Structure 1
């Protein structure tokens, strides 16, 4: 009788992609909530630009935080949905930092 083949390797799921499911609650105005949303935006941008996901959290500037607050105030609960769609159309020659600031400034997302 033949020996059985070795067991196949155990499948391990990929790292959690929490940012794909993150939705910002506009009623939660805490700094922690804003920081989590900014992190989700940053990781989504990297993912849509087909860049490796950052391994460490990014330190966001106060100006970026203020731009995010304005964007969230304009878009409300749809913020992350709109962000995910806009990340697809980022210019190829932009660095992630430039693209992040341009998207936060909401260029073309809404009329002032």
Structure 2
């Protein structure tokens, strides 16, 4: 019975799952590296930074204004050290240089 369940998992499900992960990673890399962006001045007004006690990663969300349009931006790959630094900066607005794609959906902050 174990062979009947285990062999299809080994030869079908596992390679499908690993192939899907590789294809998804390549698609995401291709999507983000082929963005055409333009330089913009970005006003950051509100930073929400939360970190868990057990995890090394955290959630950072900023409210930014690009060309007078309000956007909510998530910072990917944030960690606890970044949260500590951003909590000190939370009390004041910042003007930063950044990049925005044509649709205005992806914001890169330098």
TM-score by length of 1: 0.31
Structure with the larger strand share:
2
Structure with the larger helix share:
1
**Is the radius of gyration larger for structure 1 or structure 2?**
2
TM-score by length of 2: 0.32
